């Protein structure tokens, strides 16, 4: 039950907000579909990866979700660290994702 709660926290406060931000920015700049697809795979894999880590370290899960929600942790960095192979994709797309807001 606690694992489910932590998964919900991480999904609600980390994965979904970051994914929504990525989609908005990628759409605004007309990014290639390949970039959007790669980042989509990263966010799809991030939930289970974050839940697995949080299952072993509940405090990490709660503090990470709270930190992203409060803006003291970078959600992009959390997802990139959690999912193998995503760090490269996130870093490659970072100029698009962190550029000026439209």
Say what the pLDDT of residue 72 is. Answer: 94
- Tens-digit pLDDT string for the chain (102 aa): 777 787 788 888 888 888 888 888 888 888 888 888 888 888 888 888 888 888 888 889 889 888 988 999 988 888 888 887 888 888 878 887 776 554
DSSP string, 43-80: HHHHHHHHHHHHHH-HHHHHHHHHHHHHTSS-HHHHHH
Q: How far apart are CA 96 and CA 23, in angstroms?
A: 11
91-98: list long-range contacts, CB under 8 Å, 24+ apart.
92/35, 93/22, 93/26, 93/31, 93/35, 93/38, 93/39, 96/25, 96/26, 96/29, 96/31, 96/35, 97/21, 97/22, 97/25, 97/26
Whether 16 and 81 have beta carbons less than 8 Å apart is answered as: no
């Amino acid at each position: 039950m606690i694992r489910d709660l932590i998964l919900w926290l991480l999904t609600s406060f980390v994965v979904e907000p970051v994914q929504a931000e990525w989609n908005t920015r990628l759409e605004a700049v007309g990014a290639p579909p390949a970039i959007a697809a790669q980042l989509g795979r990263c966010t799809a894999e991030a939930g289970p990866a974050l839940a697995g880590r949080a299952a072993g370290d509940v405090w990490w899960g709660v503090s990470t979700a709270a930190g992203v929600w409060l803006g003291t942790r970078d959600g992009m960095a959390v997802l990139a660290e959690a999912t193998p192979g995503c760090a490269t994709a996130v870093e490659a797309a970072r100029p698009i994702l962190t550029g000026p807001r439209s």
